[in-house]
Chain A
């Protein structure tokens, strides 16, 4: 397999703007219904859910920061850079949606850390070339998919569990694209993701 997948064309870059706003709106509409429901549902515990949502938000903020450090590393070719920016913008959408949900549930969204903190995560992997950066990104994306699946049973509101599954699917998609671009085989076994 060659690097053909890491082409902006593969991600329909031209249509990104429209796709972006449409899905963001769809998410937020869902969250409105959710917030109204959560206020009523006796079995749900918004405070507890907010704690986990803030952890997820921290994860998205780190993803945004790590892609930023990767993008500025000078190690990425122009085509790969576009894809990294496209993935980063999806993480930005995730973060915005999570922040909106946290606020609607009456919580306070955690603030992002400084760029230096995210740089440390990249430095720890010591990337020397484009492949190293993509490997780190793939590892973190797979980790994020695992994380979103692993927190599903902890949400008191099933609608939040569903949102978590949707976020996991985006991360799994990023992982798959990155592995394919790197020419690394996808997991041979079923059920390789999750908690």
Chain B
């Protein structure tokens, strides 16, 4: 039995490549993937945000209470990047999905940079954000 995966013949590693490719394809699903997220699962996904965000505290990132329906860069007591401050839109599910998929594409020059790869996790965390009123 070989212990070290690096020692395996290339053929043994092929399924992994296939799995990775199919994952990449799954990531490219419909733009409305956020519809119908589960807020309870989203509360767990939120563990990926808590290094920088809290529902009620401004930390490295702005607080999330009331973020859905809020103007992007709209809090007066958080120091946003100039880019997000003048983004000029309101956060809804679609914008949040774009933001979490690739913040740089939605708002070039933003300071978040963090991407959430999995569409299901994005849907769940957006559903959770909606509960933070």
Contact = CB atoms under 8 A, between A and B. Distances in A.
Contacts of A140: 50-51
Contacts of B48: 143, 146-147, 150, 194-195
B117 interface: yes
A142 interface: yes
A124 B56 contact: yes
Interface residues of B, number: 26
Interface string A100-123: 000000000000000001001100
A77 B115 CA distance: 38
Grouping DSSP codes into helix (H, G, I), strand (E, B) and loop, the B interface class, with mixed when no group exceeds half, is loop
Interface in B89-133: 102-104, 108-117
A74 B131 CA distance: 36
Looking at B102, B103, B112, the one whose CB has the most chain A CB atoms below 10 A away is: B112
A8 interface: no
A52 B111 CA distance: 5
B56 to A, nearest CB: 7
Interface stretch (A9-17, A21-29, A31-39, A54-62): A54-62
Nearest to B103: A154
Given A140-B50, A146-B51, A150-B116, A54 B56 contact: no
Contacts of B104: 48, 154
A121 B59 contact: yes
Interface residues of A, number: 27
Given A48-B109, A52-B111, A142-B47, A59 B54 contact: no
Contacts of A121: 54, 57, 59
A127 interface: no
Nearest to A148: B51
Interface of B: 47-52, 54, 56-57, 59-61, 81, 102-104, 108-117
Interface of A: 47-48, 51-52, 54-55, 58-59, 62, 117, 120-121, 124, 139-140, 142-144, 146-147, 150-151, 153-155, 194-195
Nearest 8 A-B pairs (CB), nearest first? A143-B51, A154-B113, A52-B113, A147-B51, A150-B114, A58-B60, A51-B111, A151-B113
